[in-house]
Amino acid sequence: MVFSSIDFIFKFLPAFLLVYAICPAAWKNGCLFFGSLIFYFYGVKDQPVYIVLFLCSVGVNYVLGVLIGNVRGQKKKWLRIGLIYNFFWLILFKYSGFLAENVNQLLAAAGIGLTVPVYRPVLPIGISFYTFQAAAYLIDLYRGRTAYEGSLIDFGAYLSMFPKLVAGPIAVYTSVKKEIKRRKCSMRKIEEGLREFTIGLGLKVLIADQVGGLWKEVGTIGFESISTPLAWMGLAAFSLQIYFDSYGYSLMAQGLGTLLGFRLPGNFDYPYMSLSMTEFWRRWHITLGSWFREYVYIPLGGNRTGWWRTCRNLLTVWLLTGIWHGASWNFILWGLILFLIILIEKSGLGKILNRWPAAGHLYMLFVIPLTWLIFAVTDLPQIGIYLHRLFPFLSGGQGAVYFAGDYLKYGKLYGLSLTAGLIFMTGGPRKLYERWKKSPVSAVLLLAVFWFSIYCIKRGMNDPFLYFQF
């Protein structure tokens, strides 16, 4: 069940909020836990064993949290068991097939007549997100940053909270523990939550899904047959699609959290206005970056252990970031290229870009789409073909299509959504909204956005959230 669906908006959400509102305060966490399990079961109903897997994750991490919090002298043992348990399932479901295929290729290349069985199960929804949150909870307990959660219901409500369950944000336990125990709902929060949810819905359905149609068209035509202008337009479309898809979901999750009395962390801070890739990744998927910084980069030594170890630590983080997004070589290549770009920026380029903002924006206008190309296309040879379309001189002009008129056709079809994306990726519209937020005009506009989004959903003009596949 996705947030941008009729079932969620008009069936699950109203029913849940009604029950949640009439529940006594002492029962609200139980209501949230049970309601979130229903929400999750709807998403995995074709693989019902995954609800058992999730309930086991809740139970096991709860017990291990109690053990880490109570058993002196054995904290490290229980932490290790917890990390092994959590990441075993993530590796099994997400990476086992990829690992087995590559092992088989190595065995074949070595002339060894053995093969490893390839197991590619359907990825449990949200496993990458709830695994990271469970691991962070255990690590924070081990470090003494928080006390263990003594109530199984309260812990289950934290880990299963449906606004963040399937695609983030990655809200660590320490960021919401006070609200788990005591929170207040008010008409002001309800209004704020509904507004944020509507804004996110509009960004997702009216911009991301519409501009994403151009990227689909490019894939349907075939990379070999598109002109250079259309290649750049298609890449711009994907860049806008993944941003508004992810940002829209984040705002919807925050809005839902506010309705329930939680202040979930923001995930995006207008990253396309950055002057460098270093800055970009501080402003894109903020909670994921914070997780890797807090639980991988800093424990490895961060930037305090000399240049070469800093490079090693950065390389580790970016390779893990790439692999986290998918079990495919293009994601590993993507992470490696981001590491190299950021390393170059840390070597001096970043200072130049920050000193000359115009140069920084031009640099990012060029670099961001190219990095998203490696992210979007899983077939490495196809990436090469697309690069030749972007830069015909790479092939000496042989077979290049510079201006075939296709960009005019698709420019007319998608020009409006591309323009909207370019405008809303800046902070300008949000500043206007904040300025006129209390005006009745803003309420009327949001109502129009909501019902037009519903119209598009009913017409089938929307797509699943991209981050669901990660």
Query: Contact 181/434 with Cβ under 8 angstroms?
Result: no
How many residues in total does the chain contain? 470
Provide, for the chain, the percentages of residues in helix, strand and coil under a 3-state DSSP scheme, each rounded to the nearest 5: 75, 0, 25
Active site includes 285?
Answer: no
| Rounded Cα distance, 167 and 267, in Å | 11
| Rounded Cα distance, 411 and 417, in Å | 10
If we measure between CA atoms, which residue out of 201, 146, 154 comes closest to residue 174? 146
Query: Contact 380/329 with Cβ under 8 angstroms?
Result: yes
**Active-site choice (285, 325, 361, 388):** 325
Please provide the DSSP assignment of 332-397 as one string.
HHHHHHHHHHHHHIIIIIHHHHHH-HHHHHHHHHHHHHHHHHHHH---HHHHHHHHHHH-GGGGTT
197 contact partners, CB below 8 Å, separation of at least 6: 3, 251, 252, 255, 256, 259
Tell me the C-alpha to C-alpha distance, in Å, between residue 452 and each of 11, 198, 252, 449: 19, 11, 16, 5
Give the CB-side neighbour count of residue 367, counting CA atoms within 13 A.
24
| Rounded Cα distance, 211 and 421, in Å | 8
Which are the catalytic amino acids? 325
